[in-house]
Amino acid sequence: MQHVEVPVPSAKKNEVLLKLQAATINPVDWKIQKGDLRPLLPRRLPFIPVTDVAGVVVDVGPGVKGLTAGDQVVAMLNSFNGGGLAEYAVASANLTVKRPAEVSAAEGAGLPIAAGTALQALRSIGAKFDGTGKPLNVLVTAASGGVGLYAVQLAKLANLHVTATCGARNMDLVKSLGADEVMDYRTPEGASLQSPSGRKYDGVVHCTVGVSWSSFQPLLSDAGRVIDITPNFSAILTSALHRMTFSKKRLVPLLLSPNKADLELLVGLLKEGKLKTVVDSKFPLSEADKAWQSSIDGHW
């Protein structure tokens, strides 16, 4: 990673130019650097990484409605182009929402990928956020990671019973965010993934790697689903087999489908104090390399 001077980008049709105030590094960002997503990403080099940002609108392109210069916003940048580790970036107006004064730039920048993925994973399980959902039992693995922390909170907002796994040092944090049962994944009990209260899981928000489908299968209810947010080729094949055989228990790979409505919902929950962004650490842009390494070294 190198610090370089580049021209300030310009906003094209349906885009806004942002002066950035905060950006969040997600695991997908350094997976791109490692080449894990080739040949899809990056499309060209040099590549400015990171997509989850907060900032102030300084210019709007043709066709933009509802956003004007001076607006404080949260945005998700184009995954193929990146651009978040910079002073200025261009965002699609369709993935840019206003940030109320009650939500800090750092809190808002944490939302797009992590909270968006958690929200869509829970919906895939059947969670509803309007009070009409069933009282489901869910397991969240790696619950003290970015997606996991939001998943625990959103699951409780949907009135679900939450069992969570994480490292011992983060158990109190996960419990404080609403988890009903928390297990240290390094212990035999945590490694087994079994609910301490004996519940079968209607859904699993699976946020880590190295756990096979066979480990989850006996822990699921009759129509239980494992939503895998880091699917590999094996997971995709298993999912296809489940669909072909009309299996009630299923492994479901999930890739985030970003949209403005979800981002507006999540920002609103932050504003109302119903959702919390856990900010692990802060770095100035000049120390982006340290922030990058901190994300890689994180343990959940």
pLDDT tens, position by position, 189-233: 999 999 999 999 999 999 999 899 999 999 999 999 999 998 777
pLDDT of residue 44: 72
- Report the C-alpha gap between 224 and 238 in whole angstroms: 15
pLDDT of residue 79: 87
- Residues 3-20, mean pLDDT to the nearest whole number: 96
Among the residue ranges 30-39, 114-123, 252-261, the one predicted with the least confidence is 30-39
- Residues 21-25, mean pLDDT to the nearest whole number: 98
pLDDT of residue 41: 66
pLDDT of residue 48: 92
pLDDT over 60 at 257, yes or no: yes
Among 92-96, 237-241, 289-293, the range of highest mean pLDDT: 92-96
pLDDT over 90 at 124, yes or no: yes
CA distances from 64 to 93, 134, 235, 262, 286 (A): 6, 40, 40, 19, 32
pLDDT of residue 297: 87
pLDDT over 60 at 300, yes or no: no
- Report the C-alpha gap between 208 and 190 in whole angstroms: 14
- HEC string of the chain? CCCCCCCCCCCCCCEEEEEEEEEECCHHHHHHHHCCCCCCCCCCCCCCCCCEEEEEEEEECCCCCCCCCCCEEEEECCCCCCCCCCCEEEEEHHHEEECCCCCCHHHHHCHHHHHHHHHHHHHHHCCCCCCCCCCCEEEECCCCCHHHHHHHHHHHHCCCEEEEEECHHHHHHHHHCCCCEEEECCCHHHHHCCCCCCCCEEEEEECCCCCCHHHHHHHEEEEEEEEECCCCHHHHHHHHHHHHCCCCCEEEECCCCCCHHHHHHHHHHHHCCCCCCCCCCCCCHHHHHHHHHHHHHCCC
- Report the C-alpha gap between 22 and 87 in whole angstroms: 9
Among the residue ranges 38-47, 127-136, 187-196, the one predicted with the least confidence is 38-47
pLDDT of residue 207: 96
Is the pTM here over 0.85, yes or no?
A: yes
Q: 230 versus 13: which is more confidently predicted?
A: 13
pLDDT of residue 182: 99
β pairing state of 88-92 and 15-24: antiparallel
pLDDT of residue 190: 97
pLDDT of residue 64: 98
Nearest to 254 by CA among 28, 3, 89: 28
